[in-house]
A and B are shown apart, each in its own frame.
Chain A
Amino acid sequence: MTALDSRPTVDEAVQTTVAPVARARTPRRRRMSGWHFVLAPIALLFLLPFVQMFMASVSPAKELVSYPPPFIPSRIDFTGFIALFQNTDIMLWLLNSTIVSATAIASHLVFCSLAGYGFARLTFRGRNFGIFAILGTIMIPTQLLMIPTYVLFSRLGLVDGLGAAIVPWLATAFGVFLMRQFFMSLPRELEEAGRIDGASRWQIFIRIILPLAKPALATLAIFTLLGSWNDLVWPLIAINNDNAFTLQLGIANFQGTRRTQWSLLMAANVVATMPLILFFLFAQKQFIQTMTMTGLRG
């Protein structure tokens, strides 16, 4: 389609490149690689906490605190999940987190792609100053901003609702830069063709540029989803109202209030992690792309 599509993604490169080192060592192709003995145990070790989480979430409560604890439950028991949905506000938190993440993603996609395109391709006075200023904000650690932002939001009345959790996620410097990098990589001829046909800047952006930006938009959406869904410190500071708790904040507070209700805790963990795990399995390539881009922002 474009020059961008012909560029291999990291993931493809990872999949298709055979390390020359390995090739040199194993000339006979049928021999089983010794790396299996390294990789299989490591892979199991990385999966172990999740496996334990799923097992524990369907274990009878007593087995979780018995000694020695069985790794595999003697029977499937959903009391943890039932208690979770009956005795806690998890449905409300789930709804709140969904609202926060959905708003964050929608707003990131709109504002960051607009700004990214503007900074990449439009000529206007103050453009370089704007780019420089936004790049500069990446250097500022969020801890520096927490106190004044909290004071500001509480004066604006945002801390009583979801607003406090949403506003910082409406647009980020990283999002703007990700989109700018992408738009700069598109060939200029695309826009020139549109301009000859008499299209306005806006029409060129909507009809020609944006449809090509799907891979970058997917990366941006995943970055925003991960960040906003898993955010803990900011909701912890900024949300004062129990009804506006996000999922992460709710389950982090379980640590204090339901410390020993392990089957409930693990069920909550399953509810909080499952959406992202499934999404990861479904869109692994885009996640890896996102991680690489996050690393490249430095």
Chain B
Amino acid sequence: MTTRPLLKPPLRSPGVQRAQRSRRRFRDDLSGWLFVAPASILVLGLSFFPAVWSFILSLQEWNGFSEPEFVGLDNYSALITDDDFASAVMHTGIYTALFVPMSVLAGLFLAVALNRKIRFIGLYRTAIFVPFVASAAATGILSTYLFNPQFGLVNNVLRVLGLPAQGWLEDQTQAMFVIALMSLWGQAAFTTVIYLAALQDVSPELLEASRLDGANPWQSFWSVVWPSLRPVTIFVTIWQTIGAIQLFDLVYTTTRGGPLDATKTIVYYLWEQAFRRLEFGYGSAVAYALFALTLVITIGVVLYSRRRGQDAF
């Protein structure tokens, strides 16, 4: 293609050349878009368009059937004074405060424990990772049985140990803890795998140096391994936090928000408002509040880590 103009003097006028070039460019554009169009239309069509629509809905009062009524920012101002929403935020906060540190620490601990070549290590890894495939529906049924106050395995173990039986999912103060524990069971694999990958990048030279300096494994871990895992820790913290404040599935499959609304999270409240009470406008406002919360937390953690000189991304 490129050799031809070298052999012949340019016979074609610049106009013709330009036309040819633009035709080829058009062909490139066309084939490029043919490759990317199906997925792009699906992904963008099912995200940007609904996201904008959702914002418009949040300014309306609408039950899906009647004529939507424009109410400006009323939904948002109602949200601020809504006690049920405030308690949903609090319940979500409790779950996040329980689940995120547990899952990050468990991931770190399990990764360190699994990062060695000993007998049965493959079995250990499989056992810890396999709950990752359990669905929320399955985990929900398992949780309600394991933590059943009357005949559940957990209370039975407590009984054998001579400890008093607990209400677990039927107890207002314990239900969220059980949900966090069962989330951890299913998701520990994720943080563990991320930390395992990160442990491979810890500099062996630094570890060797700290060993030669007389550090014991415990000291080496805190002075060498832990600091080099900082970016990953920040990343999984953000990731797990975003996941935690969107908790819905496991609440639906265990307590359905109870007992006495003690496990009603933001997304559960959103779902109830939108799909049980058909408050599409108010539900959309809750969704945007959740989105804002997610953004604030993400930006906050990133800025905090930047200021401390740790870049997670």
A residues contacting B by CB (< 8 A) are 10, 13-22, 24-25, 33, 35-36, 38-40, 42-44, 46-50, 52-53, 56, 64-69, 71, 110-112, 114-115, 117-119, 122-127, 130, 133-134, 136-137, 139-152, 154, 167-168, 170-173, 175-176, 201-202, 205, 226, 229-230, 232-233, 236-237, 247-249, 251-252, 254-255, 262, 265-266, 268-269, 272-273, 276-277, 279-281, 284, 287-288, 291-292, 294-295, 298
Contacts and interface: CB of A to CB of B under 8 A. Distances in A.
B309 interface: no
20 contacts: A17-B117, A19-B112, A40-B124, A46-B130, A46-B185, A49-B134, A65-B151, A114-B36, A141-B291, A143-B246, A143-B270, A148-B54, A148-B284, A173-B47, A201-B31, A236-B252, A255-B140, A255-B253, A277-B133, A292-B194
Contacts of B167: none
Contacts of B47: 137, 140, 145, 173
Contacts of B145: 52, 56, 262, 265-266
A284 B139 CA distance: 20
B290 A141 contact: yes
Interface class of chain B by DSSP: helix
Interface of B: 25, 28-33, 35-36, 38-40, 42-44, 46-51, 53-54, 57, 64, 110, 112-142, 144-146, 150-153, 156, 159, 185, 188-190, 193-194, 196-197, 199-200, 204, 207-208, 211, 217, 220-221, 225, 235-236, 238-239, 242, 246, 248-249, 252-253, 256, 267, 270-271, 274-275, 280, 283-284, 287-288, 290-291, 294-295, 313
B253 A252 contact: yes
Contacts of A284: 126, 129
Contact of B156 (A42, A69, A205, A272): A69
Contact of A144 (B50, B115, B152, B313): B50
A26 to B, nearest CB: 9
- Among A44, A117, A173, A229, the most chain B Cβ lie within 10 Å of the Cβ of A173
Nearest to B136: A232
B287 A147 contact: yes
A122 B35 contact: yes
B135 to A, nearest CB: 4
Given A20-B208, A144-B291, A176-B39, A269 B133 contact: no
Contact of B118 (A33, A66, A291, A298): A33
- Among B28, B43, B188, B208, the most chain A Cβ lie within 10 Å of the Cβ of B43
B201 to A, nearest CB: 9
A68 B235 CA distance: 44
Given A52-B146, A145-B46, A146-B274, A35 B151 contact: no
Closest A-B pairs by Cβ, 4 of them = A124-B32, A118-B35, A115-B39, A43-B127
